[in-house]
Amino acid sequence: MLSKKTKYGIKALTYLARQENKTPVSIATISKSESISLKFLESILLTLRKNGLLGSKKGKGGGYYLLKEPSEIQMTVVMRILEGPIAMVPCVSLNFYEKCDDCPDENICAVNKLMMQFRDSSLQIFRNTTLADLTFKKA
C-alpha cells in the first residue's frame, strides 16, 4: 500500500510542477491547496530537497521549487526517495537486496517468482512515468 508520505509527496510535486517559471511556493500555500498537514508536508519537502529534487528560497517570496524539469523526474526516483525499496520483499529488490532468512532456495520459491513479476511490472510503470505525465494544468 502506498504510504501517505509518498501520496502527499507526489501531490506536492505535481503542484510545484504546475507553477510557471519555477516560482518558489510557500509550504503553507501547498498545504492549503493540497489538503496536507503543514508539519507533515515540511518533513516531506525537506526529504525531497535533501535528495536533489527541490530547491528552496528563504525569506519573503521564498518557498520550494523544482530543480529539474517535470519531464526529467521519473517516478522511480520519487518512489525510492519517499517509499524506499520498490520491491515488496527484499529478495527481489534491485537496490536493497537481502536474502530471506526463511527461504532455502530463491530459484524455486513461489513468493520470489511472483514478487519478481510484480516488481518488474511496477518498475516499468514508474520508469515510464515522469512528473510531467502526472501534471494536469489547471485552466
The answer, yes or no, to whether residue 20 has pLDDT greater than 60, is yes
Average pLDDT over residues 112-117: 93
By residue count, the chain amounts to 139
CB burial readout 90-100, b (16+ within 10 A) else e? ebbbeeeeeee
How much is the mean pLDDT over the chain? 92
Share of the chain above pLDDT 70, in %: 98
Q: What is the CATH number of domain 4-70?
A: 1.10.10.10
pLDDT tens per residue across span 22-79: 789 999 999 999 999 999 999 999 999 999 999 999 988 889 999 999 999 999 999 9
Average pLDDT over residues 101-112: 90
Ranges of CATH 1.10.10.10 domains, the chain: 4-70
* Cα–Cα distance measured from residue 58 to residue 61, given in angstroms and rounded to the nearest whole number: 8
Closest by CA to 47, choosing from 3, 5, 1, 2, is 5
Average pLDDT over residues 85-110: 88
